Amino acid sequence: MEARLANETDIAGFREEARSLLAHQVPPEEVHWQTAQNADLFADAPSTEGKAAGRHVPRAASAIVPASFLRLCEVVVLHSDPQRFALLYRLLWRLVHEPGLRNDPIDADMLAAQQLAQAVRRDLHKMKAFLRFRPVEDAEHPGSPLHVAWFEPAHHILEAAAPWFARRFAQMRWAILTPARSVRWDGEQLHYGPGADHCDAPTADAGEQLWLTYYKAIFNPARLKLAMMQKEMPRKYWANLPEAQLIAPLAAEAHERSGRMVEQPATTPERRIPLAEKEHIMLKIDEVESLEELKHATMQCRECPLGEYATQSVVGEGARHAKLMFVGEQPGNQEDLQGHPFIGPAGQLLDKALAELGIARDEVFVSNAVKHFKYELRGKRRIHKSPTQREAAACLHWLEDEIELVKPRALVALGSTAARSLMGYAVPVMSERGKWLEREDGRKVLITLHPSALLRMPPADKEEAFAAFVADLAKARKVMKA
């Protein structure tokens, strides 16, 4: 029996077909899964077979499977393996007919599905890390180039990845071309289109030379781990990475340079680089490999105006691989002056709440959605001003880099700016506080108030508000124990 899907990632179609097949007791070995891309087969014959059209699904026949299996399906369908739908339907069939399966951690089908999911996640990660935009003049928008990137994903991940790029590069217009599909972001919406050819993508631009100069400057020969680097950045990505051409010569001289570095006295780093160069660089520093590099990169960031007025950037601090990461809004006055997050009055209140829960501050990681202090001057005083959505969106990729580096199991969003940055949409904090939401990357986010909201409350309400805040955070405590 043929089960037909509208396209390579038709998860809704798969669910509908699978439900119908299950209801009709069609065993997996009798089903032949087809996607529209496989053939002009469907061109003249829109799906009348399969789908609910030919089979009337009894309502009572819906199967109850674990939510984790449905999430697994959503990732596995993105894999390019033509057998993925057959595998998922077989698993579904077996989950319904073999109750013991859900408790079998080494079942071969389950392991195969998990491996496919893992490969898809890896592909998504590589796309985020190794895709490079190049500016192309756009006659319709003089002075505002379109940024175009070419990428060859191993799996059908473009639609899954595009919203992430839209959030990270919210303020520029860009297009990603791949052999199978393309996507364009106009600053407001994503538009999908057909696949493209490599020659449709722009070649090196003038700004690229600047990027290469910058890459050479930040290349640290003492930290070179060639095998690790090749594992993380397989050769197949090198063709589209401008800096790849530097790897061999830089690696060749690394040994000698690191010897010279050891012998040299410490130098004072230059705080800022000239603005003309920054404009090119900031679009391209999209891969930081350590928290130290993150600090360095955010110090130079001018993707929004805040960096120009702050004393310095303030990045997250705490346990390098903390299980729990707290995200606030932006550094305050004290944080800006001293360069550490949450050390002022709001930080002290957070520390007090953590202490009540028996959580040491250095066991967790504490950061902010925005890395520079935004303020307005009243006389000589710098008064906190909330960042705009644009400013938070411009800073989002630094926060995502931090999450990638620390890899917390779960996060706590302190207030609405953090919640929006972490979730990608506006979260009504008052109604959602104390609840766990789930991010696109699968991490759970506990929503609660920002401690400075407690500081602003009338004295009579403070005690109760603090107790409620601690009660919210108590829900995150079990992450620390896990």
DSSP-based three-state secondary structure for 379: coil
**Binding of residue 341 to ligand URA (CB under 6 A):** yes
Check: CB of residue 225 under 8 Å from CB of residue 198: no
For tokens 């066991």, what's the residue? 363
**Binding of residue 332 to ligand URA (CB under 6 A):** yes
**Closest approach of Cβ 383 to ligand URA, in Å?**
13
User: What CA–CA distance (Å, rounded) separates 187 from 174?
Assistant: 8
**Binding of residue 312 to ligand URA (CB under 6 A):** no
Among residue numbers 83 through 142, which ones bind ligand URA (CB under 6 A)?
none
**Binding of residue 335 to ligand URA (CB under 6 A):** yes
DSSP-based three-state secondary structure for 439: coil
By DSSP bridging, strand 324-328 and strand 410-414 are parallel
**Closest approach of Cβ 390 to ligand URA, in Å?**
18
Q: Whose Cβ is closer to ligand URA: residue 207's or residue 344's? A: 344
**Binding of residue 387 to ligand URA (CB under 6 A):** no
User: What CA–CA distance (Å, rounded) separates 25 from 63?
Assistant: 12
Closest listed residue to residue 93, CA positions, set 12, 30, 51, 49: 30
| One of 329, 391, 402, 432 touching ligand URA (CB under 6 A) | 329
Q: Whose Cβ is closer to ligand URA: residue 298's or residue 330's? A: 330
CA 208 to chain centre: 25
Q: Which amino acid is at 280?
A: H
**Binding of residue 330 to ligand URA (CB under 6 A):** yes
**Binding of residue 318 to ligand URA (CB under 6 A):** no
Cα torsion 190, 191, 192, 194: sign: negative
Write out the H or E segment, with its range, that includes residue 5.
Answer: strand 2-5
Q: Whose Cβ is closer to ligand URA: residue 47's or residue 368's? A: 368
| One of 9, 368, 416, 421 touching ligand URA (CB under 6 A) | 368
Check: CB of residue 181 under 8 Å from CB of residue 195: yes
**Binding of residue 307 to ligand URA (CB under 6 A):** no
**Binding of residue 328 to ligand URA (CB under 6 A):** yes
Q: What are the tokens at 134?
A: 């190049």
**Binding of residue 316 to ligand URA (CB under 6 A):** no
User: What CA–CA distance (Å, rounded) separates 339 from 345?
Assistant: 15
Among residue numbers 416 through 455, which ones bind ligand URA (CB under 6 A)?
452
Q: Whose Cβ is closer to ligand URA: residue 240's or residue 333's? A: 333
**Closest approach of Cβ 385 to ligand URA, in Å?**
12
How does DSSP classify residue 445?
A: E
**Closest approach of Cβ 368 to ligand URA, in Å?**
5
The site for ligand URA (CB under 6 A) is made up of 328-332, 335, 341-342, 344, 346-347, 368, 452
